[in-house]
Structure 1
Amino acid sequence: MIGGGYVGLVSGACFAEFGTDVAIVEQDPHKLDALLNGRIPIYEPGLDAIVSKNTETGRLTFGNDLAAAIANADAVFIAVGTPTRRGDGHADLSYVYAATREIAKAAKNSLLIVTKSTVPVGTGRQVAQILKDERPDIEFSVASNPEFLREGSAIDDFMRPDRVIIGIDNTSPEQADRATEIMRELYRPLYLIEAPIVFTDLETAELTKYAANAFLAMKVTFINEMADLCEKVGANIHDVAKGMGLDRRINRRFLHAGPGYGGSCFPKDTRALTAIAQDAGMRSRLVETTIEINEARKSQMAERIIAAAGGSVHSKKIGVLGLTFKPDTDDMREAASLPILTRLCDEGAHIQAFDPEGMDAARPLLPEVIDYRQDALSAAEDVDILVILTEWNAFRAIDPKRLRETMRGDIIIDLRNIWKPESFRAAGFKYSSIGRP
């Protein structure tokens, strides 16, 4: 597994849990040092136990020697970063191609090379060409196996997936058969639980990943627009979402109104899909509009807070619960808190914030003036306004009466709809949420 980041570490650990010998290659010295010393550099529930168990059995190892790691390998997964390239929205494939060249140079015999990273359509073909150019003496097989891991539930997503997508380079029937055999063996435990495993071509596998994430991003954006409409006409977005979600063609997932999507996948992948479409000579108008609406929404949420403060947050003390883009992760990438809190600080607000896992990651990304607290009630202490930005379960159980005693002001802006309006209004709060009367 080339890359010990989120995708590589989770995938490698889960393959080891399946009984496969896995060597994870990580070049970042700080991350590698943590892994070698039993520290998990990311927060993901259950990951530490699986990593510990499989390192103890010897099925999972870490190092920075790529040649040694692939010496006896049947398959090599590329799980390096593919961030958005500056200026054009395309995925930056420099790390993927660099890893491909290193694998080619170090290879001693035939290998199956699998892209686990999210990569644009055509990347697998380019990987195959690089391998051929670098090592014409070796016949490589190439496959695409995109990940569908949700941060916070990645272990379950890998072990009990909705589906596994595997794209095989069918240029050579013999190599394609070998690649298919290896991938079937790697995922053999999933056949026992009858998880759907879809074999297809490289291009289809690569596009499926982007199409799935773009569709979910549109679903989130749609329900956010419906929440805004609910506020205009007096409807309740919770009941609207429930009524929609009970339709099996739609289903309930991702129908939760909020301040806009973020994270490592949706923003990056929607931008990349629009770039892929443009390169193909067309436009993906739905996805383009989704991106525009989502970006605007975060500014609108800041405006909502300012309006609730009477038109100005200057010198106001604002408590913030939650910083990460979603609960059960420490990931701050594209989190709604970043533009919202930056705007509030620029407007002169004094922010004191708490997040169960994300504060270390948040510090270098947010204004230095933010005061980070040790718990939720401390973040609410003597504040004029309390804002909910991430729906951590621990926040749901906060007693409204105790919160009222802790706060100086009486304004709560719940951007995740985690509390019952009637309970907090009964406690004396001016409570507002998303899409609810």
Structure 2
Amino acid sequence: MKIAVVGTGYVGLVAGACFAEIGNTVWCVDKDEAKITNLEAGLLPIYEPGLPEMVAKNVANGRLHFSAALQPALAQAELCFITVGTPPRADGAADLSQVYTVAQEIGQLLDHHLIVVNKSTVPVGTAEIVRSIIAQELKRRGQENVTFAVVSNPEFLREGRAINDFMRPDRVVIGTDSNEAAKIMKELYQPIVRDQHPLLIMDIKSAELTKYAANAMLATRISFMNEIARLCDKVGADVNRVRQGMGADGRIGLQFLDAGAGYGGSCFPKDVKELIHTGRKYGLEMAIIQAVDQVNERQKHYLAEMIGRYFGDNLAQKKFALWGLAFKPETDDIREAPALAIIRSLVHRGATITAYDPQAIPQAKVALTGCGGRLFYAENKMAALDDADALILVTEWQEFTQPDFAEMKRRLRQPLIFDGRNQYDPVGMAALGFEYYCIGRGYCV
């Protein structure tokens, strides 16, 4: 099939490359000409394992193209995927201005039947508005006879595992009121779902809500365990053992039950807030989801509070090493990352921090400009430790799992670790001579 993908951010670039990988001809469109120039030169705007190789392969074989203009891509397309950003507004609602702008441009250019697919995460009712915008533009041009369908096809990609999630999905959700569109979407995804992965056809509003409900459920599990972890620290229990006992129940399972420094990223925070906003729009207070959001915001400060109890509120003479800036491993995404809250809190109390992350330092330098001369960056994890009063571990990158503890003790002023991801065994750390504080294992300051 011939496909246009509008937006070359995380979702659009992964979707475009994967659609090309299974044999389609794809044009990835972005109004940012510098981004398109870089993509044509093989320079990707995001870090995602395996994606550079897939992009290069499909550009070389002529199936993947990049354009700063929609018209040449749309002229040949049978399907047009909208994958632009929907960032949160101050009130928690998704900002749909980019989606609406794309819909308007489609209506201004369309001259043949097209299936327009909302793959961006959008609230209930967006497909209706997109349909209306396109129809209005066609009417304005006197082209009411041009037909089109609008489909909801939410993405369920995990950063760091996006290619696998796209090519081997748990499910593909298609929301449509058109039998013809359903047939074409089934054909498109057939190479991906043929190994018994379900393709679910449903009404559009249910498809739009499914993405938010799924992310809210996962966020709920995380916040629930983080609240249990706080209780474990109070009573002296071990949250890892509680997790094992809970997860052994087949009705619960182990996924998304790890206690830590809170969730972040581009999806969970904004999707939870949008679901709260949608509920209020329809006169419903989403009490559980509101609590999930509140617990997570509090959890992001847990490590900083722990450090404050240990050293006191005045940290002007203290220096810390921090491992991990990205909100999770295998990505350079720092949006809503717990590390940002921790760094700002400690710097506000006068601390100096030297941070290291395998991928996210350039992004952190932009996001944390307000930290002045109290935040520095190291070229590697060990260099960050030099003369630090303690190590703060925030992101569970694989290279942090089995470090040289003897070298760590030599570099640190004192063998002290605050671990926001429970990477190490408290008993083992004590045997190595470390003072070790983590989340929910009865070792809280």
Fold shared by both chains (TM-score > 0.5):
yes
Query: Which residue of 2 is the match for residue 189 of structure 1?
Result: 191
Q: Helix, strand or coil: the match of 2:6? A: coil
Alignment counterpart, residue 100 of structure 1, candidates 99, 103, 119 = 103
Matches within 5 A, 1:390-409: 390-409=395-414
Q: Is the 8 A contact 2:303 2:418 kept in 1?
A: no
**Identity, % of aligned positions:** 46
Q: How many residues align?
A: 430
Partner in structure 2 of residue 22 of structure 1: 26
| Ranges in structure 2 where 5+ consecutive residues have no aligned partner | 139-143
Letter of the structure 2 residue corresponding to residue 199 of structure 1: I
Looking at structure 2, the residues matched to 242 and 355 of structure 1 have their Cα atoms a distance apart, in angstroms, of 30
- Which moves more between the two structures, 401-410 or 151-160? 401-410
Task: Letter of the 2:88 partner, please give it.
Answer: T
Q: Secondary structure at the match of 2:120?
A: coil
Taking structure 1 as the reference length, the TM-score comes to 0.97
Q: Deviations over 1:339-363 (max 9, x none)?
A: 1101111111110010000000000
Q: Tell me the residue number matched to 1:156.
A: 164
| In structure 1, distance between residues paired with 2:145 and 2:384 | 62
- 139, 147, 157: which is aligned to 1:139? 147
Instruction: Tell me, yes or no, if the aligned pair for 1:400 and 1:424 is still in contact at 8 Å.
Output: no
**Is the CA contact 2:88–2:274 (under 8 Å) kept in the aligned structure 1?**
yes
- Secondary structure in 2 aligned to 1:376? coil
* Residues 242-281 of structure 1: pairs in structure 2 closer than 5 A: 242-281=244-283
2:417 paired residue among 412, 416, 434: 412
Q: Is the 8 A contact 1:118 1:209 kept in 2?
A: yes
CA distance in structure 2 between the partners assigned to 1:389 and 1:373 by the alignment? 15
Q: What secondary structure, in the 3-state scheme, does the structure 1 residue paired with 2:413 have?
A: coil
Residue in structure 2 matched with residue 286 of structure 1 by the alignment: 288
1:70 aligns with 2:74: yes
Residue aligning to 2:141? none
Q: Distance in 1 between matches of 2:65 and 2:372?
A: 38
1:109 aligned residue: 112
Between 1:348-357 and 1:234-243, the stretch displaced more is 234-243
Root-mean-square deviation (CA), in Å? Answer: 1.1
Deviation at residue 194 of structure 1 after TM alignment: 1.1
Matches within 5 A, 1:359-374: 359-366=361-368, 367-369=371-373, 370-374=375-379
Residue 190 of structure 1: CA displacement? 2.1
Partner SS state of residue 321, structure 2: strand
Counterpart mapping for 1:350-389 below 5 A: 350-366=352-368, 367-369=371-373, 370-389=375-394
Quote how far apart the aligned CAs of 1:132 are: 1.4
CA distance in 1, matches of 2:312, 2:243: 31
8 Å Cα contact 1:144-1:202 kept in structure 2: yes
Counterpart CA distance in 2 for 1:359 and 1:100 is: 35
Cα deviations across residues 358-411 of structure 1 (Å, max 9, x unaligned)? 000000111232110011110111111110010001011102222111111222
* SS in structure 2 at match of 1:326: coil
Q: Which amino acid aligns with 2:327?
A: F
Q: In 1, distance between residues paired with 2:303 and 2:420?
A: 8
**Distance of aligned partners of 1:61 and 1:32 in 2 relative to their CA distance in 1, 3 Å threshold:** same
Superposition pairs of residues 340-351 of structure 1, within 5 angstroms: 340-351=342-353
Query: Within 2, Cα distance between the matches of 1:368 and 1:246?
Result: 47
TM-score, with length taken from structure 2 = 0.95
Mean Cα deviation higher: 376-385 or 242-251: 242-251
CA-CA distance at 1:309 after TM superposition: 2.2
TM-superposed deviation, 1:239: 1.2
Report the 3-state secondary structure (helix = DSSP H, G, I; strand = E; otherwise coil) of the residue aligned with 1:76.
strand
SS in 1 for 2:354: strand
Is 1:432 matched up with 2:434? no
Contact preservation (8 Å) 2:168, 2:193: no
Q: Secondary structure at the match of 1:198?
A: strand
Match of 1:9 in 2: 13
Residues 426 and 311 of structure 1, relative CA distance in 2, 3 Å threshold: farther
